[in-house]
Amino acid sequence: MTIWAVSDGRAGIENQVMGLAEAVARLLPADIAVKRIRFDAAFDRWPTALKLWPNRMLAADSDRIEAPWPDIWIAAGRATLPFSLRMKKRSNGRTLVVQLQDPKENLSAFDLVIAPEHDEVKGGNVLSLLGSTNRITPNRLTDEAAGWRDRLSSLPRPHVAVLVGGKSKTHDLTADRARAIAHDIREAVGTGSLLLTLSRRTPDDARAIFHEVLGDLPGLIYDGQGDNPYFAVLDAADYILVTEDSVNMVAEAAVTGKPVYRLAMDRLRPEGKFARFHQALEERGIVRPFEGKLDTWTYAPLNETARAATKVVEVFSAKHSS
């Protein structure tokens, strides 16, 4: 069996489709092909409805989307929609078409839409998840952390992991906010150690402040240079602090079952879907707002990717038994 994991290649989007594809393949053995779609600059901003000949509009370095078609098509992101909307017809209904996130298009074009609860997508073929699908599993964390274990195991406890995002359409991380967060983190780490990862979206002034205020603490600060310790950080952490701008990072942290704290940022838009997402996590006892102190609590690890994969297999089986 074949599964295509289709996205525009951005890490956050590709991780969602790959996470679900890998989870499905654990239930139904399959070969996974990664497809990255990018439109030529002349067509990229065109509405989906006007991309009538999408293969002719792709950039030269984009993967081509051509037969033979896969058994399961899993896609996410605006760039994939011109193909996802046509896949049922092109495959004569043989391919199971799964679209992640809110497609904002005719839901009947897909066999299954898997969207976050906070997007409030409704339909008979819609599965709502708390957060997003991802590639985090206990085995993956253990395997990916192996190369870092000697370095991290000798650090004083508690190990305080801090996952920092940055500026987006909805949030910002100003210098003042970064300094306040950094001082609160320093106080909370105490005699423990810091495992800090910075995003490509982290503003330069905020990045400099984290190095200035926290750089002398035991542990590490990853700023994009060298091997990425992200999985090792999640594996080694006793506590995880995550900026509130990223659904993906919070959802991935919650897979671990470890205490997860939300770091407040500067909000550029009124509270909306992000507020609904964080409220749902807090109501279920997964996440708490960070107020300068660290407590320990337990909850059932978030396992939404496995739930989504089970649904995909169920719909696939029903489609091919009829």
Domain of residue 106, residue span: 2-130+305-321
- 127's tokens: 């599965």
**40: number of Cβ within 10 Å:** 12
161 with 282, same domain: the answer is yes
- The span from the CA of 79 to the CA of 144, in Å, is 30
- Asked whether 274 and 118 are in contact (CB, 8 A), the reply is yes
The answer on 188 and 165 residing in a single domain is: yes
| pLDDT for position 322 | 63
- Are residue 46 and residue 169 in the same domain, yes or no? no
Q: Mark out the alpha helices in the chain (DSSP H runs).
A: 11-27, 81-90, 138-145, 149-153, 175-189, 204-214, 230-236, 247-254, 273-283, 304-321
Instruction: Note whether 184 and 200 are same-domain residues.
Output: yes
Helix axes 247-254, 273-283, angle to 10 degrees: 10
89 confidence band (pLDDT: 50, 70, 90): very high
Report how far residue 53's alpha carbon sits from residue 82's, in angstroms, rounded to the nearest whole number: 9
pLDDT tens for each residue of 14-41: 999 999 999 999 999 999 999 999 999 9
Tell me: do 65 and 168 sit in the same domain.
Answer: no
Q: What is the CATH number of the domain that holds 208?
A: 3.40.50.2000
CATH code at position 103 = 3.40.50
Number of domain units in the chain: 2
Give yes or no: residues 152 and 124 share one domain: no
In a domain, 299, yes or no: no
Distance CA(108)–CA(307), nearest Å, equals 22
The average confidence (pLDDT) of the chain is 94
* Per-residue model confidence (pLDDT) at position 270: 67
Is residue 294 included in any domain, yes or no? no
Report yes or no on 297 lying in a domain.
no
Question: Is the distance from CB of 11 to CB of 246 less than 8 angstroms?
Answer: no
Considering the domain architecture, whether residues 202 and 103 belong to the same structural domain is answered as no
Instruction: Evaluate whether residue 166 is within a structural domain.
Output: yes
Count of beta carbons in the 10 Å neighbourhood of residue 147: 12
Mean pLDDT of 298-313: 96
pLDDT for 241 equals 98
Q: Mean pLDDT across the stretch 104-130?
A: 93
Task: Enter the pTM of the model.
Answer: 0.90
pLDDT in tens, 265-279: 988 776 677 888 899
* Residue 58 and residue 142 share a domain: no
